[in-house]
Amino acid sequence: MGILAPPIRWVVSSLHPVPLRIVLVRHGLSSFNVEHRIQGRDDLSSLTEIGQRQALTTGVALRDLTFAAAYSSPLGRAADTARLLLEAQGQGLNAQLDEGLLEIDLEPWSGLLRSELKEQFSEQERQWRQAPELLELQRADGSSYRPLEELMLQAREFRQRLLDRHAAALTDDQAAPQTVLVVGHNAILRCLLLALLNLPLTGFRRLRVDNSGISILNLNSSGVQVESLNGLGHLGDPLPAKGNGARLLLVRHGETDWNREGRFQGQIDIPLNATGRSQAEAASRFLAPVTIHRAYTSCMARPRQTAEAILAAHPGVPLTSTTGLVEIGHGLWEGRLEQEIAAGWPDLLADWKRAPETVQMPEGETLQQVWDRSLATWQRIAAGLDGAETALVVAHDAVNKTILCGLLGLGPAEIWAIKQGNGGVTVIDYPDGAHGRPVVAAMNLTQHLGGVLDRTAAGAL
């Protein structure tokens, strides 16, 4: 019997080896992508020259990693991406082809131009955009099926096989950490992300996965953490292309001495250290090509200093400070190292790691209080933007995590499922307006800080 899907109750430190790391990569640009055709499960599309270069560039970006195994969809555009990527990565590994990574089955639509799809299947096309989990199609034999439901079942089965194959890394404390590469397609990778996070299909449209985008998840025997999502920096563009609707860039402040020491900062106003200033300047260079119209920050020094450094490349952009984005109040824990808290509040600290939503900080806040004020502030900022605008928001670890949990459909209990590195950049789009469904287009991008892995300090909040 395989190990069960892990509950999301876990803190991971980037200062220690991750038992199992999963690197997800979507195939490179294909001929059907260029032609705006529906690909689905048919193997009629192939990598373009650009797609081949993307695969090779992705392999170079992943050279610092050693893969214990690689898995790929057997469809040509994905299998060729995996082959080229692994050749450039230089480890000499071959990908195992797995039908669990096949793309969604859109049999009656395959090969159609998107314009033809809207003309011939207008109601179903609208359903696919608005609530794809409810879409029903008919196969050539006349049978009806829900393609996204079928794909989610496939994703869950692949997840289980993957966990079974690499169970030793998750369950044996003496086993060596493992990193696994998974190369697939847009829809199957989104479903796999939902399956790993135990999220429902209604979250499908909340995620974005671009050609050759890199996403990284960390797992151990009791949980999963999204380290990053849809990183494209290795391809030369800092962020996914912006479509219609407002965009918000959520950034965590740079490092402080207390981050480095592992002290609980909370609402004590600790400034950036030299590393933190360098991280803020790197984020500024990273975001320099991006047009920013407005900026918001917690009223504390470390996010304000980070925001000011980023805006040095964007003169004239107004910066607004707000108390709604200040870090969680740790109360009597603030300024203390974890071992000091363990000595004075051992049970409460254990609860904070195991079930953070249950903890009332001594003379401080609860996560629900942070959740309420941070998400309310975020929504006010989003509602104040028009569709052409991009806003910068710089805040803190717990604040960013509660915002992202809320946007993804997770709850306060799952904040450890989200990684926020110092100086990391997250991209949220609102294609249907501020009251429509948000899309996490990219999360915790840290390549501007030295590679695809988040190597920033893993200190206390």
CATH of the domain at 267: 3.40.50.1240
Residue 15: per-residue pLDDT: 37
Helices in 346-396 by DSSP H: which ranges? 346-354, 367-383
The secondary structure element, H or E, covering residue 255 is none
Range 24-29 average pLDDT: 98
| The dihedral formed by the CA atoms of 326, 331, 334 and 340, expressed in degrees to the nearest 10 | -150
The reply to whether 287 and 410 lie within a common domain is yes
Instruction: Mark which of 234, 258, 290 sits at the end of a domain.
Output: 234
Place 211 in a pLDDT band, splitting at 50, 70 and 90: very high
Place 18 in a pLDDT band, splitting at 50, 70 and 90: confident
The secondary structure element, H or E, covering residue 277 is helix 274-287
The reply to whether 197 and 288 lie within a common domain is no
Residue 323 sits at the vertex; the CA angle it makes with 320 and 328, to the nearest 5 degrees, is 130
Q: Which of 148-152, 169-173, 319-323 has the lowest mean pLDDT?
A: 169-173
The reply to whether 349 and 291 lie within a common domain is yes
- Residue-wise pLDDT tens digits, 218-264: 998 778 999 999 999 999 989 999 999 999 999 999 999 999 999 99
Gap between the Cα atoms of 369 and 247, Å rounded: 26
Instruction: Mark which of 200, 234, 268 sits at the end of a domain.
Output: 234
The reply to whether 159 and 273 lie within a common domain is no
Contacts of 258 (CB under 8 A, 6+ apart): 264, 265, 268, 270, 335, 459, 460
The reply to whether 162 and 246 lie within a common domain is no
Residue 219: per-residue pLDDT: 95
CB atoms within 10 A of CB 384: 14
Confirm whether 14 is domain-assigned. Answer: no
DSSP three-state, residue 237: coil
The reply to whether 190 and 246 lie within a common domain is no
Residue 360 sits at the vertex; the CA angle it makes with 356 and 363, to the nearest 5 degrees, is 140
Domain that holds residue 443: 241-449
With contact defined as beta carbons under 8 Å apart, do 197 and 226 qualify? yes
The reply to whether 145 and 274 lie within a common domain is no
Separation in Å, CA 421 to CA 99, 180, 429? 34, 22, 20
Range 80-96 average pLDDT: 98
The reply to whether 285 and 223 lie within a common domain is no
Active site residue 327: yes
191: pLDDT strictly greater than 90:
yes
The reply to whether 245 and 196 lie within a common domain is no
CB atoms within 10 A of CB 350: 12
Gap between the Cα atoms of 319 and 20, Å rounded: 40
- What is the CA 446 to chain-centroid distance, rounded? 12
Range 287-307 average pLDDT: 98
Place 457 in a pLDDT band, splitting at 50, 70 and 90: confident
Given 185, 253, 396, 448, which residue is catalytic? 253
Given 103, 125, 281, 327, which residue is catalytic? 327
Residue 458: per-residue pLDDT: 66
With contact defined as beta carbons under 8 Å apart, do 129 and 117 qualify? no
Q: How many domains does the chain have?
A: 2
Confirm whether 111 is domain-assigned. Answer: yes
Residue 118: per-residue pLDDT: 96
Gap between the Cα atoms of 54 and 438, Å rounded: 27
DSSP three-state, residue 182: strand
Place 459 in a pLDDT band, splitting at 50, 70 and 90: low
With contact defined as beta carbons under 8 Å apart, do 385 and 246 qualify? yes
The reply to whether 318 and 182 lie within a common domain is no
- 176 vs 393, residue with greater confidence: 393
Strands (E), 66-130: 69-72, 96-97
Helices in 288-425 by DSSP H: which ranges? 301-311, 338-344, 346-354, 367-383, 397-408
Helices in 11-75 by DSSP H: which ranges? 31-35, 49-61
Instruction: Mark which of 213, 234, 255 sits at the end of a domain.
Output: 234
Confirm whether 172 is domain-assigned. Answer: yes
DSSP symbol at 263: B
| φ/ψ of residue 337, rounded to 5 | -80, 160
